[in-house]
C-alpha cells in the first residue's frame, strides 16, 4: 500500500430519493421568505454526501458591495435546503478575501464547521454576477446527525509520531522514477529517539493549532484538529503537515484523534529596475539580455483599466536575485545571485551560461515573469498571489516564492508546494541527470510548477489549501500546468528540451492528433493524475484554438475563482461557461463574440 490513502468509500452513493424530495418540497417555502422576487432552485445533488451541490438564484436584486455579509446571510436564509440534519447549527466561516473576476463577478468562499472545528472538504462558494446579484451557491454540505465531542483522546505528539511512521517509508506501489525519468532515491529516516513535543501554540481555540518539534524532518510540524466524515460518520482527527527532508515531499495526514488510525494522507508537493542575461524559453537558444521588469506590452495581454499605476512593480530589491514576488537562491539555503551596479542599473550577467549562478538567475526571471503575467489576468493580492508586500491591496503578505535552483538533481526533479495565503510557496528545480540539462533553464517546467501555485490559491479561495486534493481536481492541476506552459510558449509539449525528447514529459503532443478524450478517464493510462491532466490540458488548448488565446486565458483564470472546492471536470467546464456568461453580462464581449465563443467551448469539450 502506498503512503497516499483515503478511507472514504467513493463507490457509496448517499443520495436518497426521499431526502431529495423533502428538500425540493421546501424550495418554494424558502423562496417566499427571500427578499423581492428572489427565488432559488436546486439544480443537482451530489453522491458523496447526498446534499445539493448547486442551488441557483433567480431574480435576485442587484446590489453593490457587502459581498461577505450577503453571502453569509444567503447561506443562512437557504440553510433548510442545504441538507443539514434537523437541529444542526448553520456554521460557516467566510474567507475575508473574496475573489473578483476580470468582468466584475465575485465569488465568496465559506468553510463549514461544527463546534468551532472545520469539516474536511465541506465548503460552499456563493457567486455574484457582475451587477452584484446573487447567481448561485456550489458545494456539498456535511449533514451531521447526533452529537460529537471535539475533545481528542490522542495527544498531538502521539498523532504526529503516528503520521511520521506512516509517511516515512514509501509503499511498494510507489514509483521509483519521476516523470523526467530520474530515479527517486528516498531518504532513510530514523526517529525512534525523536521527540515531537509541542514547541509553539498558535491557538487556544477548539482547533488547538500548534507547531511540534521537527525531529528528522525538514521543518517544524503543524497540527490542528479537524472533522473528517466517512460515509456519513463524523470522526475527530488531527490534521498534520509534514515536510520530508531534501524536498522529497510534503504530506497532509489525518490521524483519528481517538484510535490513532490513518484516515487520509495526501502528497502536497507538485512536480513539475535591472537587467539579466537569461534563457527566455529554454537552453536550446542563446541567452538574451532582458530588462527587469518586462514591459507590460511584452506579455501579449490586454492591460486592464484597474491596474495599479505602479505596475509593473520593480522586480528586484537592492542588488540580489530577490524582490517582491520571488527570492531565488542556490539549493535550500544557499546564496542568491549578486548583480553589478552599472550606470544606475543592477545587471545580472553570469560568466558561465551553464553554471549555478545562471540557474538562480533563470528561476528568478521565470517566476517574476509569471507574477506579472498573472497580475494582468487578475490574479492579485486579494486573490492570494505571491508577494512580500501587498501595498494595502488586500490579501496576506510575506509569501513571495522561495525559488530554489539546486546544483544537481533534486527529488522529483522539479516541484512546488503551496500553502495558504501568507506563507511562501517553495519551488525546487534540479538537474535531469540523464541529459545533464537543468529544469531551471526550461521555462515550460517552471511555468508548469508556478501554475500549481496559482490554481492552489484560486480554487476554493486563498485560505483553502485542500481544494485540489480530489483525484479529478489533482488531474486538472497537472493539466492547467501544461496548458499555461504551452499557451505562453505557443507550442504543444512540456519539457522537451530538458528531457531531450520530442514528446517531453507526456505521452502525446497537445495538438489535433491527441488520441483520447473524457470517456477514457479511469481506464488504461488515465488513472494517475499526470495522465488525467493530459486530457484536461488538450481540451483547454483546443479551446484556445477555437475561441482565441486571449479570451481563453481570461476565462480559465476567471473560472478558477468561480470554481467550488474539489471540482471535477464538469464543474470546471461549467465555471468556464459561467465566466463567459459574465463577460457578456458586463459587456466585455459583444453578442457575436459570445455566440462564437460559446460554440467553441462546447465543441472543445465535446471533442
> Could you tell me if 530 and 413 are in contact, meaning their C-beta atoms sit under 8 angstroms apart?
no
Whole-angstrom distance, CA of residue 525 vs CA of residue 29? 49
The 3-state DSSP class for residue 204 equals coil
Residue (of 104, 93, 90) closest to 132 by Cα position? 104
Measured at the CA of 183, the angle between CA 178 and CA 189, to 5 degrees, comes to 100
Q: If residue 107 lies in a helix (H) or strand (E), which one and from where to where?
A: strand 106-114
Pairing label, strands 117-128, 92-94: unpaired
Residue (of 556, 533, 417, 473) closest to 123 by Cα position? 473
> Could you tell me if 429 and 405 are in contact, meaning their C-beta atoms sit under 8 angstroms apart?
yes
Neighbours of 213 (CB within 10 A): 16
Whole-angstrom distance, CA of residue 422 vs CA of residue 130? 28
Burial class (CB in 10 A: 0-12, 13-18, 19+), 171: exposed
Helix-helix angle 549-562:591-606, to 10 degrees: 80
> Could you tell me if 452 and 418 are in contact, meaning their C-beta atoms sit under 8 angstroms apart?
yes
Burial class (CB in 10 A: 0-12, 13-18, 19+), 297: exposed
Q: Looking at the DSSP assignment, which residues form a beta bridge with residue 40? A: 57
Active site members: 449
Whole-angstrom distance, CA of residue 35 vs CA of residue 462? 31
Pairing label, strands 39-45, 52-58: antiparallel
Residues whose CB is less than 8 angstroms from the CB of residue 232 and which lie 6 or more positions away in sequence, other chains included: 14, 49, 143, 145
Residues whose CB is less than 8 angstroms from the CB of residue 586 and which lie 6 or more positions away in sequence, other chains included: 103, 104, 105, 130
Neighbours of 85 (CB within 10 A): 11
> Could you tell me if 91 and 113 are in contact, meaning their C-beta atoms sit under 8 angstroms apart?
yes
What cell was used for 315? 522586480
- Give the 3-state secondary structure percentages of the chain, helix then strand then coil, rounded to 5: 30, 20, 45
Residue (of 57, 47, 50, 52) closest to 24 by Cα position? 52
Please tell me what DSSP assigns to residue 315: S
Output the DSSP codes for 36-94: TT-EEEEEEE-TTTSSEEEEEEESPPP--S-HHHHHHHHHHHTGGGTTPPTT----EEE
What is the length of the chain? Answer: 607
Amino acid at each position: 500500500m502506498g503512503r497516499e490513502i483515503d478511507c472514504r468509500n467513493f463507490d457509496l452513493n448517499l443520495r436518497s430519493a426521499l431526502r431529495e424530495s423533502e428538500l425540493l418540497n421546501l424550495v418554494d417555502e424558502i423562496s417566499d421568505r427571500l427578499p423581492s422576487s428572489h427565488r432559488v432552485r436546486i439544480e443537482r445533488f451530489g453522491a458523496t454526501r447526498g446534499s445539493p451541490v448547486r442551488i441557483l438564484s433567480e431574480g435576485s436584486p442587484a446590489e453593490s458591495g457587502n459581498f461577505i455579509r450577503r453571502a453569509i446571510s444567503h447561506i443562512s436564509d437557504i440553510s433548510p435546503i442545504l441538507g443539514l440534519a434537523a437541529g444542526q447549527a448553520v456554521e460557516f466561516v467566510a474567507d475575508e478575501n473574496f475573489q473578483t473576476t476580470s468582468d466584475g463577478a465575485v465569488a465568496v468562499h465559506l468553510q463549514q464547521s461544527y463546534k468551532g472545528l472545520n469539516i474536511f472538504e465541506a465548503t460552499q462558494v456563493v457567486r455574484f454576477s457582475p451587477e452584484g446579484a446573487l447567481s448561485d451557491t456550489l458545494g456539498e454540505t456535511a449533514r451531521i446527525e447526533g452529537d460529537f465531542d471535539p475533545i481528542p483522546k490522542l495527544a498531538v505528539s502521539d498523532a504526529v509520531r503516528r503520521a511520521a511512521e506512516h509517511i516515512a517509508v514509501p509503499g511498494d506501489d510507489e514509483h521509483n522514477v519521476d516523470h523526467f525519468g530520474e530515479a527517486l532515491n528516498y531518504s532513510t529516516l530514523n526517529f525512534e529517539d525523536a521527540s515531537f513535543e509541542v514547541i509553539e501554540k498558535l491557538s487556544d481555540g477548539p482547533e488547538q493549532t500548534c507547531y511540534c518539534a521537527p525531529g528528522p524532518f525538514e521543518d517544524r510540524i503543524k497540527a490542528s484538529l479537524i472533522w473528517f466524515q466517512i460515509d456519513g460518520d463524523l470522526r475527530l482527527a488531527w490534521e498534520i503537515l509534514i515536510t520530508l527532508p531534501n524536498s522529497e515531499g510534503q504530506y497532509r495526514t489525518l490521524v483519528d484523534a481517538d484510535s490513532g488510525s490513518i484516515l487520509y494522507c495526501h502528497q502536497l508537493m507538485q512536480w513539475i529596475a535591472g537587467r539579466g542575461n537569461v534563457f527566455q524559453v529554454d537552453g536550446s537558444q542563446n541567452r538574451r539580455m532582458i530588462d527587469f521588469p518586462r514591459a507590460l506590452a511584452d506579455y501579449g495581454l490586454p492591460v486592464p483599466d484597474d491596474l495599479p499605476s505602479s505596475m509593473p512593480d520593480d522586480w528586484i530589491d537592492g542588488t540580489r536575485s530577490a524582490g517582491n514576488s520571488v527570492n531565488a537562491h542556490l539549493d535550500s539555503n544557499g546564496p542568491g545571485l549578486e548583480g553589478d551596479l552599472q550606470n544606475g542599473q543592477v545587471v545580472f550577467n553570469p560568466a558561465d551560461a551553464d553554471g549555478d549562478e545562471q540557474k538562480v538567475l533563470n528561476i528568478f526571471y521565470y517566476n517574476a515573469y509569471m507574477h506579472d503575467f498573472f497580475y494582468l489576468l487578475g490574479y492579485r493580492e486579494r486573490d492570494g498571489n505571491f508577494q512580500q508586500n501587498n501595498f494595502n491591496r488586500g490579501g496576506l503578505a510575506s509569501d513571495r516564492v522561495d525559488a530554489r535552483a539546486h546544483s544537481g538533481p533534486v527529488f522529483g526533479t522539479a516541484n512546488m508546494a503551496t500553502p495558504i495565503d501568507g506563507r511562501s510557496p517553495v519551488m525546487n528545480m534540479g538537474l535531469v541527470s540523464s541529459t545533464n540539462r537543468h529544469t531551471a533553464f526550461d521555462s515550460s517546467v517552471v511555468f508548469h510548477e508556478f501554475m500549481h501555485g496559482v490554481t492552489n490559491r484560486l480554487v476554493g479561495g486563498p485560505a483553502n489549501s485542500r481544494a485540489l486534493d480530489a483525484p479529478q481536481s489533482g488531474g486538472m492541476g497537472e493539466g492547467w500546468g501544461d496548458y499555461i506552459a504551452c499557451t505562453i510558449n505557443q507550442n504543444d509539449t512540456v519539457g522537451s528540451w530538458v528531457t531531450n525528447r520530442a514528446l517531453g514529459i507526456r505521452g502525446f503532443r497537445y495538438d489535433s492528433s491527441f488520441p483520447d478524450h473524457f470517456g477514457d478517464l479511469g481506464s488504461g493510462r488515465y488513472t494517475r493524475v499526470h495522465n488525467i491532466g493530459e486530457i484536461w490540458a488538450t481540451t483547454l488548448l483546443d479551446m484556445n484554438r477555437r475561441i482565441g488565446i486571449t479570451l481563453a486565458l481570461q476565462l480559465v483564470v476567471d473560472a478558477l475563482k468561480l470554481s467550488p472546492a474539489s471540482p471535477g471536470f464538469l464543474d470546471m467546464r461549467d465555471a468556464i461557461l459561467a465566466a463567459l456568461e459574465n463577460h457578456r453580462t458586463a459587456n466585455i464581449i459583444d453578442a457575436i463574440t459570445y455566440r462564437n465563443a460559446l460554440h467553441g467551448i462546447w465543441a472543445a469539450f465535446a471533442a
